[in-house]
Structure 1
Amino acid sequence: MPEVQFEPDPDTHVAVIRLDRPEARNAVTGDMAEAIEAALDTVEGDDRLWVTVVTGTDDVFCSGGDLREVAAGDPRMRTRRGGFAGIVRRERRKPLVAAVEGPAVGGGTEIVLASDLVVAGDGATFGLPEVRNSLLAAAGGLFRLGRHIPPTVAMQWALTGDYFPAARAYELGLINEVVPAGDALRAARELAARICRNAPLAVQHSRAVMLEATWLPEDEAWRRNTEAMRELGRTADFHEGMAAAAEKRPPKWTAS
């Protein structure tokens, strides 16, 4: 659909999902959520696509959900599997990089929190302003934010509804990189390209262990780590990586 642009590129192994509803500050509707989820389904099902970049327009990432749908009693800006925007609860194997320009507030911040890596232009802003409208940040922000930044600061964001600039978000560890305004998508593509130099299944297993084992007790974390290594050792790419190292040549990854 025109309000969600999907640009898969099997040659670079990177797909871009672009929110393109600038007249509404890229506020998410039900139709947009369905389109985003469909794009993620395509990425997850295509062995030629290894990393996804989600971005907005030049001046705004996402202002959250379409409040007109909320006011009408039909808040459809979510999907059954993916939650808000078809993304915040979506189970994925492949990395997701957010490229943020301008405001990423409310649900926009929650999309950022659901991403694996974040690149932002220096004019980007973040925040959870839902309390200003007698709402909750119900797409994961109230529990995910405190996992990324100090809980005392997360509480401040949640209770004041204040906005915070990219520099402060970087200082707190919410985002990975701040670049000049207008460069976020370029920098996110470069980051995705660096990921894509590596074996895609090794990247996927590494992501899974990081997400699952970080919060586990030590013995369970070791068990999950060992299990992932065994699974990876049964892949063709594992053997290709060993052969390429021994033969001193670039590896040829097949995601198999």
Structure 2
Amino acid sequence: MTAHDVETAPSAESSAPRVTVERDGHTLLIGLNRPEKRNAADVHMLQELALAYGMLDRDPELRAGFVFAHGDHFTGGLDLADVSPRIGPDGLDTVPEGGVNPWQVSGEQISKPVVIAVQGTCLTFGIELMLASDVVVAADSTVFGQIEVARGILPFGGATIRLPRAVGWGNAMRWMLTADTFPVAEAHRIGLVQEVVPHGEQYARGLELAHRIAAQAPLAVQAALANARQAVRYGDAAAEAALQPELVRLVQSEDARIGMESFLSRTPANFVGR
């Protein structure tokens, strides 16, 4: 990907952009762009990432997000020299107006699915981005680490909440409380990543999956995602109660008609999001 292929998410800061944003059909490509620092996340990057997520959530033409990283590494974690001084009495606020917390731990979640492709080093905030996403593709080069306790802090981007749920209590505590790093084979074994591919192929495979999701009926995709999240957050009964009303709503949509016509004619569906 070259410089002329991308735009940047708007930012209040004047320094070089930390996040690239590119529209590829109905998919928004969001790239961490600080490769000279192993994509360590300073406040500037976190703000731009929040704005990119806000763009994904608001734009009705966008149906899926794809998060990746420029360079050899997904992220070396937080740039503590920049981030720590910004932590005030109420914690750390890195979400500008129009943005959505990319960790989605503020009570607001984006309505669109997100696919992430990782490679090289993937520490702390990177794992928490994965946990807040929906599908993860990892290069076989990737090494992971939830190492905050070795720096005297706790994971504050959702790992304490989501990691035990995603990989099981013992697996989560094994890695989160020791600050040990672990290889991609272990990440795949415990379910932190869904697919492992040879290094260099993670971008293409992740984008392929994002496009595959974006090609489905967007109202149905968002409803399925929302119901699954409802079950996780509020329990099975709440999600079960919403199933029939959601079915009634969706079956009345233009996309449901298009989907049925596609089924009967055995031709690809071109969904319109209505």
Return the TM-score normalized by structure 1.
0.90
Secondary structure of 1:118 counterpart: strand
Aligned counterpart for 1:170 among listed residues 173, 185, 188: 188
- In structure 2, what is the equivalent of residue 196 of structure 1? 214
Letter in 2 for 1:233: V
Question: What is the rounded CA distance, in whole Å, between the counterparts of 2:37 and 2:251 in structure 1?
Answer: 48
Task: Please name the residue that 1:49 is paired with.
Answer: 62
1:73 and 1:195 map into 2 onto residues whose CA distance is: 37
Amino acid at match of 1:78: T
8 Å Cα contact 1:65/1:77 also seen in 2: no
1:39: which partner in 2?
A: 52
> Is 245-254 or 188-197 further displaced after alignment?
245-254
Whether the 8 Å contact between 1:33 and 1:77 is mirrored in structure 2 is: no
| RMSD after superposition | 2.0
Q: Which residue of structure 1 aligns with residue 158 of structure 2?
A: 140
Which stretch of structure 1 is more off in the superposition, 65-74 or 234-243? 65-74
1:78: which partner in 2?
94
Match of 1:7 in 2: 22
In the TM superposition, residue 78 of structure 1 has moved relative to its aligned partner by: 2.5
The answer as to whether partners of 2:28 and 2:64 remain within 8 angstroms in 1 is: yes
Matched, 1:18 2:70: no
Taking a change above 3 Å as real, the CA distance of residues 219 and 148 of structure 1, as seen in their structure-2 partners, is closer
Query: 1:17 and 1:216 mapped to 2: Cα distance?
Result: 30
SS in 2 for 1:60: coil
The one-letter code matched in structure 1 to 2:171 is V
- Paired residues in the alignment total 252
| Paired letter, 2:142 | A
SS at match of 2:229: helix
Moved over 4 A (4+): 73-77, 214-218
Matched, 1:152 2:159: no
**Contact 1:9 1:49 survives alignment (8 Å):** no
Contact 2:100 2:110 in 1 (8 A): no
Equivalent residues in 2 for 1:89-104, closer than 5 Å: 89=105, 90-104=108-122
Q: Structure 1: how far apart are the matches of 2:142 and 2:93?
A: 23
- Quote how far apart the aligned CAs of 1:102 are: 1.0
- Please state whether the residue corresponding to 1:137 is helix, strand or coil: coil
1:122 to 131, 140, 153: 140
- Which residue matches 1:253? 271
CA contact (8 A) 1:29 1:77 kept: no
- The residue type paired with residue 44 of structure 1 is D
C-alpha distance in 1 between matches for 2:187 and 2:180 = 13
**Which of 224, 231, 237 matches 1:206?**
224
Shift of 1:77: 6.9
In structure 1, the gaps of 5 or more residues are none
Aligned CA distance change for structure 1 residues 196 and 217 (closer, same or farther; 3 Å): closer
Partner AA of 1:126 in structure 2? F
Cα distance, 1:249 vs. partner? 2.9
Deviation at 1:74?
4.7
What SS does the corresponding residue of 1:64 show, helix, strand or coil?
coil
Aligned to 1:222: 240
State the AA in 2 paired with 1:107. F
